Amino acid sequence: MKKYTIFGNPVSHSRSPVMQSAGFKYLQLDNTYDKTLLTDENIKDMFFNLGLSGANITVPHKEYAYISADLVVGDAKTIKAVNTYIKQDDKIVAHNTDGYGFVMAIDEFGPLSSVLLIGAGGTARAIAVALKSANIATTVANRTAKKLEFFDMLGVDTIISNDIDTSDKYDLVVNATSAGLCDSNYPMSQDKLRRVLTDSKYVFDCIYGTMTPFLSMAKQLGIKYKDGEDMLLYQGVKAMELWTNTKATKGLIDSMRSALRDKNDKQGEL
């Protein structure tokens, strides 16, 4: 039996355990998956002290988890934030599956030419890298300039949220902040956000399982919207593939989706 967990703070809201446990059950693997509240940045020692074979990482530890890993693989090297750990030969190998999850989640929106991404944390980094790889024009907005340095170096447009030109039009507007997770806040000025959304085609919130103020505004405006449930699902599916060295089948994906939706009685964030 192998042990897995999700590290976060807060973490009680996470739906990853029920989803990933369903995946292990479908694969007939006698593995466990728990939640671990991590209140400091000592994630590497905690990983080994718990005797884990793998883990997921959620806010606010994705960037520190990147620093703590022994080996970083794939897009995570560019993102400089990770959400998946794997134990290999007494070392931690780190991946980021958030970008994959996001791309799969927005597939139903069809071709996109422009995206406004609100937020500048680890999830936003993964999304920005995925959008740039897809050659989709991306603007990242954040309340402060400091965290925008990464996106400037990535080569995407950046702007302070309060300075957004509301006459600009975007096919998709994404909330990659925690606004609305445990409060009634919007990811930026309510008035500016309303004017931006009015001209958008689609809205996506990385928070899942609740109608955030951001999504409520999109609904009021009659804009097609989606929460982060499918992003959670597909980033988890990719992590499952990495942990078990298998290719996900439709059966595995359906079993994880069913468990997530059957138990999705709480809000959460990736």
Helices (H), the chain: 16-26, 43-49, 62-68, 76-79, 98-105, 122-133, 149-154, 190-198, 213-220, 229-244, 250-262
Count other Cβ atoms within 10 Å, centred on residue 254.
12
* CATH label of the domain that carries residue 220: 3.40.50.720
Amino acid at 237: V
Same domain assignment for residues 163 and 69:
no
Residues 81 and 186 in one domain: no
Convert the pLDDT of each residue in 46-76 to its tens digit. Answer: 999 999 999 999 988 999 999 999 999 999 9
258 and 148 together in one domain: no
The reply to whether 269 falls in a domain is no
Q: Is residue 161 part of a domain?
A: yes
Residue 204: inside a domain, yes or no?
Answer: yes
In a shared domain, residues 249 and 198: no
What is the pTM for the complete model shown? Answer: 0.92
Identify the segments of the chain with pLDDT beneath 70.
263-270
Based on the residue annotation, tell me whether 62 is a catalytic residue of this protein.
yes
From 25, 44, 62, 226, the catalytic residue = 62
pLDDT value at residue 266: 47
- Give the structural domain span for 43: 3-96+232-262
Domain count, the chain: 2
pLDDT at 267: 45
Residue 181 per-residue DSSP state = T
Q: pLDDT tens digit string along 70-103?
A: 999 999 999 999 999 999 999 999 999 999 999 9
